[in-house]
């Protein structure tokens, strides 16, 4: 994936970064969608100049950062989406 940015078109990208969490640092793959908007009257309503809209997604293996099952479910509370097998 890759290429050049063109006004109003979304470019899908993949990369890798270092996530630091709770004293641990791990490499994490990242997927991103980047859209460049040339300066216009419409964009000037938000900020001056060109705009770059970035949406990035990455999955985090919580045990790699010292976060165990109990901590995950307590953090999620009643909105628990962690599958349970016990």
Q: What is the mean pLDDT of residues 6-35?
A: 92
14-26 pLDDT per residue, tens? 999 999 988 899 9
Domain ranges of the chain: 10-77
Residue 31 pLDDT class (50, 70, 90 cuts): very high
With residues binned 3-state (H G I as helix, E B as strand, rest as coil), the percentages for the chain, rounded to 5, are 20, 40, 40
Which range is most confident: 28-32, 36-40, 76-80?
28-32
In contact, 55 and 32? CB cutoff 8 Å = yes
């Amino acid at each position: 994936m890759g290429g050049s940015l063109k006004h109003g078109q979304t470019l899908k990208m993949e990369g890798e970064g270092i996530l630091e969490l709770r004293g641990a640092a791990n490499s994490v793959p990242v997927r991103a969608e980047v859209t460049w908007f040339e300066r216009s009257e419409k964009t000037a309503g938000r900020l001056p100049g060109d705009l770059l809209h970035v949406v990035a997604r990455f999955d985090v293996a919580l045990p790699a950062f010292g976060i165990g099952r109990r901590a995950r479910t307590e953090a999620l509370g009643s909105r628990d989406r962690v599958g349970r097998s016990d």
